[in-house]
Chain A
Amino acid sequence: MTLESLTYASATELSSGLRTAEISAVELTQACIDVIAKQNPAVNAVITLCQESALTEAKAADLRLREGSAGPLTGIPLLHKDIFCTRNVATTCASKMLANFIPPYDATVVSRLRAAGTVMLGKTNMDEFAMGSSTETSVFGVTRNPWDLNCVPGGSSGGAAAAVAAGFTPLGTGTDTGGSIRQPASLCGITGLKPTYGRVSRLGIIAFASSLDQAGPMTRTVEDAALMLQAMSGVDAGDSTSADLEVPDFSGGLNQPISGLRIGIPKEYFSQNLDQRVADKIHQALDELVKEGAELVDIDLPHTEQGIATYYIIAPAEASTNLSRYDGVRFGHRCESPLSLTDLYERSRSEGFGEEVQRRILVGTYALSAGFYDAYFKKAQQVRRLISEDFQKAFEHCDVIAGPAAPGPAFPLGAKSDDPLAMYLEDVYTLSVNLAGLPGLSIPAGLVDGMPVGLQLIGRSFDEATLLRVGHRFQLCTDHHHAKPVLGGASQ
């Protein structure tokens, strides 16, 4: 296998190559490290590279492969978003606040993927504390979109999306609070799955908004997403919100046909906010699914637009509470020579947090304050229920919902960074899914002027299996997921 064929292969293909000893885990890991060393300076997707430990882990994987005790992910390289706590490896959340934080423990997602035999290559860039849709608010600088280095990769899991798209790794982890897996997956042309709230443990994921946060796989194919989700899922005694439900065999159900499946099309997802070129690609994708026997059904999600307002109360409110732990005392940034305890708190937080994080803390603090709690936070929680009920009603008429993952393709760096409200619109099609706690999948649906566009599929609670089945069927009959960037695209 050539270097490129190695680093652009899917995990499923690589797993087969490892088992037949066509390649070794050490060779594969070294190939990924070489590509990262060569291309990362331009893309800035990886902010911590664990070269030495990765090769050690790869050697151990090779041993298990030889012994015949390997699982499907043994020896497969992986990059974790820098929001997952990794024992003895820096975990910064792309913030000055945590620039020197080295966790004494692994997140459950990290330990489960480690137990499954994956090889951790390092950590990926992100928007600071996952608050953003462009990976421009990182203290480590912007990540660039491999399809066009002048464009953003989306966010907040932009480093993971860019890394998978650029051939740095077949697998990445991401987190999604309002679209942070699906929107960058769409903008970088990869597969990204946000599981149902509670499917994957949140233990050791640096908290943003606890009732919305969920971790998921970012991969080249739906087949790989199923493999990875299998390893990540399941109840965890360390997260009392993790669902105590049996985890289905996600890979086992992939090949079932989709004939007769009803796909709901919400008209609100095709409003004037949507780039017409993206709309055309989504309609072409739906045509493919109809050819496979699916039936399209018109549905209504009437509170789609109000989802933004709802989200931008609930998420900042929960964030302001979660981020109150950063006080400069037990861990994280501390200001120089504090004069008093209040001075220590205020200067440590103001120096440690970036602008967008502070903006959301302010809004959240305001929304939770006694005189305004009912008008903002309680009201938003009530609308959240209406949004959830919209989905429940829609699912009486369909099995999955389909639409775009983002209103347009990747935009130029800096284009929206001065206008937070324009940036918030990036997540108009994704954040309602978090409010309702549902699973959502973004898969490549083609290119618009050379830039990728994602088809979003939304499922019933804990029905990731149907999403994966539809997504896999789509990838069997199209080749959009095989498209790869000439690194730098038009800009080089």
Chain B
Amino acid sequence: MTKPSSAKHSKNTGKSASFSFVLKWECINVGVFGQGESVVASPLSFHSGYAAMPTIPTDVLSVAQLARLRIDEAALGDVTDRFTRTLNLVAQLEEIDTAGVIPMSNPHDMHQRLRADSVTEGNQREALQQTAPAVEDGFFLVPKVID
């Protein structure tokens, strides 16, 4: 995970941020217990400050691209509005003092058990591929990736 060097948090006052930075953007796979693992990276430009909320349509499109979702142009205004309202709702957490609080990723703070490293399931390729959209000779079919 790469952190932006100039990132700083301020309360969401609705004021425009006083500076901007180029952010190396990564999407983090939380896994079962929120243990971060970088999986995707693409550079984006964002305005900073805690108020760095994507209030302009291009920003929502950037998030959508990371999520591999395509938003219709006609729906963009509505999607952006609802997205921004949700971020405004969650912004109230900034008010809470969490200095020194250890993040909780599992309600019992438990560690996952490891199972024995042994085969427990036989080959079920046919059963598992019965629900696949397109298969051939036991392989999943996708559009051509390399010419």
Contact = CB atoms under 8 A, between A and B. Distances in A.
Interface in A366-380: 366-380
Nearest to A333: B133
Contacts of B83: 359, 362-363, 366
Contacts of B79: 358-359, 362
User: Which among A341, A379, A380 has the highest number of chain B CB atoms within 10 Å?
Assistant: A379
B98 to A, nearest CB: 4
A369 B104 contact: no
Contacts of A377: 28, 30, 34
A338 interface: yes
A211 B89 contact: no
Interface residues of B, number: 73
Contact of B90 (A102, A376, A436): A376
A308 to B, nearest CB: 7
Contacts of B89: 308-309, 312, 421, 424
B119 interface: no
A318 interface: yes
Given A306-B96, A334-B133, A362-B69, A329 B28 contact: no
A135 B101 CA distance: 36
B15 interface: no
Interface stretch (A170-178, A382-390, A467-475): A382-390
B93 A383 contact: yes
Contacts of B24: 370
A109 B90 CA distance: 34
B106 interface: yes
Nearest to A420: B82
Contact of B36 (A211, A373, A436): A373
Contacts of B30: 317-318, 321, 368, 377
Specify the main secondary structure of chain B where it touches its partner.
loop
A309 B90 contact: yes
Contact of B50 (A100, A375, A461): A375
By secondary structure, the A interface counts as helix
B140 interface: yes
B26 A375 contact: no
Contacts of B127: 104
B110 interface: yes
Nearest to B91: A309
A329 B7 contact: no
Nearest to B114: A240
A329 B131 CA distance: 10
Given A309-B93, A365-B27, A368-B30, A382 B104 contact: yes
A56 interface: no
Nearest to A235: B113
A381 B104 contact: yes
A1 interface: no
Most buried by B among A350, A361, A362, A424: A362
B53 to A, nearest CB: 9
A303 B96 contact: yes
A359 B30 CA distance: 18
A382 B98 contact: yes
A313 B87 CA distance: 9
B143 A370 contact: no
B1 interface: yes
A371 B23 contact: yes
B133 A328 contact: yes
B101 A306 contact: no
Given A102-B130, A240-B115, A385 B103 contact: yes
A283 to B, nearest CB: 29
B56 interface: no
Contact of A420 (B31, B86, B90, B145): B86
Interface string A141-176: 000000000000000000000000000000000000
23 contacts: A103-B131, A104-B127, A197-B106, A197-B107, A306-B92, A312-B89, A313-B90, A329-B140, A330-B140, A344-B143, A346-B70, A349-B69, A365-B63, A368-B30, A369-B25, A370-B27, A375-B50, A378-B103, A383-B101, A386-B98, A436-B107, A437-B107, A461-B107
Interface of A: 100-104, 197-198, 210-211, 237, 240-241, 243-244, 303, 306, 308-310, 312-313, 317-318, 320-321, 324, 327-334, 338-347, 349-350, 353, 358-359, 361-363, 365-386, 388, 420-421, 424, 435-438, 461
Given A243-B110, A382-B104, A385-B101, 13 more contacts: A104-B130, A210-B32, A349-B69, A359-B82, A362-B67, A369-B26, A370-B38, A377-B34, A382-B98, A382-B102, A388-B104, A420-B82, A420-B86
